[in-house]
């Protein structure tokens, strides 16, 4: 039996999503920009998917730009707004616990003349509203704060943050990659939002950027005028159809999924916290229902992962998994290097079972017990 508990990194494609995609991977293969009957059929499929996405996040269809995923959407959104306003406002606020796609984009913008404020977070992973208010300036163009943290599942008070941002006359962007498809979203106060299909049982290689109507935005990818002139390139019809199907599926089963997954996550967490010295990373209440980030005693996370032969868990973000260093998220929350290096992220989905969780609990306890015995006998 193989047990997969790394769903914040990626999820399996839902059977319903794969079924929806198959015709566009086989006989309905036309270019959606072609004007013949086959092309118009593909175009209709793209329009349907765009409506399914808009229905999930409650926006207009012409406010959705399809991208290759969240990383592109983040780059497209942040750079698109900053370059469109270059020379007008030059200050951006973000947090120290953002995904590398945001942090690295901000570092690039610093190199071409923008000023960036990186807000700290507390031990619970939340930013301080007072710190945000103090950091805002007349020259603040954009505030970029992640909705749900990919490593800890901590949920920021997005509505409050967005309102404060707008009161300053600034724009608000949120990386909602771990939120879309999992929780109900209200985009009333959101100017831009990024997401990716493979985080909620859609295919890899497709995502999107929500840009509120009226936001001054400059395209980064030219050549053909696709996606309302904001992101040129031939439409990836099968993936777009898959994204749309995943959105509809998520919308239809979101409440049921939360109830099932949260019970499993809480049970897993309760049992593992019985291991003496184990700590929970992140705010316990303001947290996504499928995530548990735990630091274990006496062991390096990479060692533990290596000994869990048939269980997939993570020591942090999949985008930085090849870097052997403490998580920048956990360090920003005040963890020591030792605690951060001992952290495991468990991220569940609706396909996980109670039997899988029982096996995981027993295996982790076995590995840690053996490691502790090894330490005490050395």
Using one digit for the tens of pLDDT, what is the confidence trace for 128-171?
A: 999 999 999 999 999 999 999 999 999 999 999 999 999 999 99
Confidence of residue 228 (pLDDT cuts 50, 70, 90): confident
Contact between 78 and 269 (Cβ < 8 Å): no
pLDDT digits (tens, 9 = 90+) for 277-327: 999 999 988 999 999 999 998 789 998 999 998 999 998 655 554 556 899
The mean per-residue pLDDT over the stretch 350-362 comes to: 98
Q: What is the pLDDT of residue 229?
A: 74
Q: Which residues contact 293 (CB under 8 A, 6 or more apart)?
A: 151, 152, 153, 280, 281, 282, 330, 343, 344, 345, 346
In the chain, where the domains are located: 3-10+254-377, 15-249
* Mean pLDDT lowest among 19-28, 210-219, 308-317, 334-343: 308-317
DSSP for 75-141? Answer: HHHHHHHHHHTTTT--EEEEETTS-HHHHHHHHHHHHTT-EEEEE-B-TTSPBPHHHHHHH--TTEE
By annotation, the residues acting in catalysis are 319
d(CA 133, CA 57): 28
Confidence of residue 212 (pLDDT cuts 50, 70, 90): very high
Predicted TM-score (pTM) of this structure = 0.94
pLDDT digits (tens, 9 = 90+) for 93-114: 999 999 999 999 999 999 999 9
Q: What is the pLDDT of residue 115?
A: 97
Q: What is the pLDDT of residue 375?
A: 52
Domain 15-249, architecture per CATH: 3-Layer(aba) Sandwich (3.40)
CB-CB neighbours of 213 under 10 Å: 8
Class of domain 3-10+254-377: alpha beta
| Averaged pLDDT of the chain | 94
């Amino acid at each position: 039996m193989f047990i997969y508990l790394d769903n914040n990194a990626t999820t399996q494609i839902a059977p319903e999503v794969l079924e929806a995609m198959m015709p566009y991977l086989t006989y309905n293969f036309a270019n959606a920009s072609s004007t013949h009957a086959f092309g118009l059929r593909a175009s209709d499929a793209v329009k349907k998917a765009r409506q399914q996405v808009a229905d999930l996040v409650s926006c207009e269809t012409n406010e959705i730009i399809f991208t290759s995923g969240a990383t592109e959407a983040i780059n497209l959104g942040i750079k698109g707004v900053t370059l469109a306003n270059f020379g007008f406002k030059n200050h951006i606020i973000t947090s120290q616990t953002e995904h590398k796609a945001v942090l690295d984009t901000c570092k690039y913008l610093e190199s071409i003349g923008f000023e960036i404020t990186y807000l700290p977070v507390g031990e619970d992973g939340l930013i301080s509203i007072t710190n945000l208010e103090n950091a805002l300036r007349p020259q603040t163009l954009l505030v970029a704060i992640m909705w749900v943290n990919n490593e800890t599942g901590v949920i920021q008070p997005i509505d409050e943050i967005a309102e404060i941002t707008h009161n300053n006359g600034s724009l608000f962007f949120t990386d909602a990659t771990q939120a879309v498809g999992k929780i109900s979203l209200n985009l009333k106060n959101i100017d831009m939002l990024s997401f990716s299909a493979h985080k909620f049982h859609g295919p890899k290689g497709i995502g999107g950027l929500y840009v509120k109507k009226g936001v001054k935005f400059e395209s980064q990818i030219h050549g053909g005028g696709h996606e309302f002139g904001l992101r040129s390139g031939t439409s990836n019809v099968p993936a777009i159809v898959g994204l749309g199907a995943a959105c509809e599926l998520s919308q239809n089963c979101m409440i049921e999924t939360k109830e099932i997954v949260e019970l499993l996550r809480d049970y897993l967490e309760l049992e593992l916290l019985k291991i003496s010295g184990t700590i929970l990373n992140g705010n316990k209440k303001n947290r996504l229902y499928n995530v548990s980030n735990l630091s274990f005693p006496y062991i390096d996370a990479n060692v533990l992962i290596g000994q869990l032969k048939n269980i997939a868990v993570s020591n942090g973000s999949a985008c930085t998994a090849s870097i052997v260093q403490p998580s920048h998220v956990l360090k920003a929350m005040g963890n020591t290097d030792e605690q951060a290096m001992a952290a495991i992220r468990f991220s569940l989905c609706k396909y996980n079972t109670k039997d899988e969780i029982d096996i995981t609990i027993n295996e982790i306890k076995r590995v840690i017990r053996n490691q502790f015995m090894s330490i005490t006998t050395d």
